[in-house]
Structure 1
């Protein structure tokens, strides 16, 4: 008798079982949040949740870099959520799928860098619950227009263009203090100098900060009257920190703080934060200080807080479609793994005709 005829089906079943287990493990890993556990430091016991998902400015690089600094150097627990391609489990800034938002239930602060998102109800509800309890928010760049939600959705009022007077212009205006109001300087041609307000130089968020410079072009803003402007944004004619001022563009608010909700929900907003902006030490220090402040830890901010990158930081040029393909959240789990590894391609492979 040829026993191999009996063995082959068993082998095929075993192979199928292993493949299924591997697939389920990969899917589970893709759905699991990226968590950086701090060991010691002033942030021990505090949990900050980062929401990354914009189409252009590489929030998927900015936010894990910030999270690592806060966890490794200062002891915070930092959870990073990304928008994920549900079919591949890889990070896709264009996707409207962000598993894990339920972790906001025990967050001490949320760092939001989203653009035009319309998340499923079960993923949006924890964000709404967090805002309803006036949880502290740090908003970057496109967070002013974080949500683009149809009028028939139960979450329509968070849309950046919402018309209702009870929540005019949605999350951006009502929480951050401003919605999307237009560009004010051409990207990759005009960079931006952030000028610290004279009357706010002693604010804890500006401790150790002198002259931030960012590579992202300007946004025009006219924030709500109740904000405190920490720095104005001056567009420059060039892509260096010492480039000349754009003569036809006066400074407008670029960094501010306010409160929302019941009056004690702390908010820090900047209309900058592209991944390359984080290379500037003054800007990076301001962002780390802002996270401390949002958690009510302003007394822990020092001029010499460690803001060194953890692992190689290799930001991509910000552009639509310019994210690195094939990256899973788990690929960034090691503190020393690069953000992002250059082995991941940027351009979408051309389709064969």
Structure 2
């Protein structure tokens, strides 16, 4: 009889790759969104660690802008997913982040990461990262800093519209019906960016809300239709870093904990990880949200007071 060989063990696409997710913003509940994204990525074999802003006792506190738990995870990161806002980490933590980027790893940046740093002291080697210093780290690396709420905050939601010229991009594979209740940010990424999706400002907060029709002036005082042209909400860049290498960058101005209830957005973020790492995104992916995921609505001082870092440790 022919020998029956045991089936080869499935090799998952993320095997051997370490993703570090940096959660640290006061408004959009990164402390809920990033653990959920980490759990989704773990299904594909990625090792995932989430780092938080937290108190000494392990209570997650997004308002603690000088805190990042487990910064040593950055030393072995193969990719970074970040949702940061106005962080002012200590010099050692900033140096670890800087070293990770200089290794040439991909960066997947969500929502307020365009203005990730603020209040870094003038004497720091990283003072130029502050968002209000010529756009800071966000402008230099991601291609944009904080500009303005283009849609009316908490009143005008976002519908994602694929950029037709780049519809075949790998990050957009299988992506459809992107919607989020966060508003469109004003953004003007540089000419070297590849725009993947634009944000249609809606006259309401539901997926079936019609597009808003009004005029609005940009930061350069140019009046235009609020959706003509629509603002970019997702783009890629490849940027040279100070160590002489290159980083593949994906930035989306969506990404609140409520936004990622949208499967199209989750797929785009997961696809971006694979694009950044050069791995093959599976044709069939389990993108379902972790059991019991009920995100808190975005807003300042609205974070859950009962969350502990230990509740979200994913590095197992």
Per-residue deviation, 1:326 = 2.9
Q: Tell me the number of residue pairs that the alignment of Structure 1 and Structure 2 aligns.
A: 288
Deviation per CA, 1:194-217: give whole Å up to 9, x if none: 100111111111110123111101
The alignment partner of 1:242 has SS state of coil
State the distance in 2 between where 1:151 and 1:120 align: 13
Is residue 257–residue 295 contact of structure 2 (8 Å, CA) maintained in 1? yes
Alignment of 1:227-306 (within 5 A): 227-248=193-214, 249-250=226-227, 251-260=230-239, 261=241, 262=244, 264-297=246-279, 300-306=280-286
Per-residue deviation, 1:40 = 5.6
Alignment partner, residue 50 of structure 1: 21
State the distance in 2 between where 1:79 and 1:310 align: 16
The alignment partner of 1:188 has SS state of coil
CA RMSD of aligned residues (A): 1.6
State the distance in 2 between where 1:328 and 1:274 align: 19
Are 2:155 and 1:189 aligned?
yes
State the distance in 2 between where 1:132 and 1:218 align: 30
Instruction: Decide which structure has greater helix share.
Output: 1
Alignment partner, residue 95 of structure 2: 125
Alignment of 1:1-353 (within 5 A): 41-71=12-42, 73-86=43-56, 88-95=57-64, 96-148=66-118, 149-163=120-134, 169-248=135-214, 249-250=226-227, 251-260=230-239, 261=241, 262=244, 264-297=246-279, 300-333=280-313
Structure with the bigger RCO (C-alpha within 8 Å, sep 6+) is 2
Structure number with larger C-alpha Rg = 1
The alignment partner of 2:160 has SS state of strand
- Name segments (4+ residues, structure 1) moved above 3 Å: none
State the distance in 1 between where 2:68 and 2:248 align: 24
Deviation per CA, 1:180-206: give whole Å up to 9, x if none: 111111232110011001111111111
Per the normalisation by structure 1, the TM-score is 0.78
Per the normalisation by structure 2, the TM-score is 0.87
Deviation per CA, 1:39-70: give whole Å up to 9, x if none: 96210101000000000000001100000001
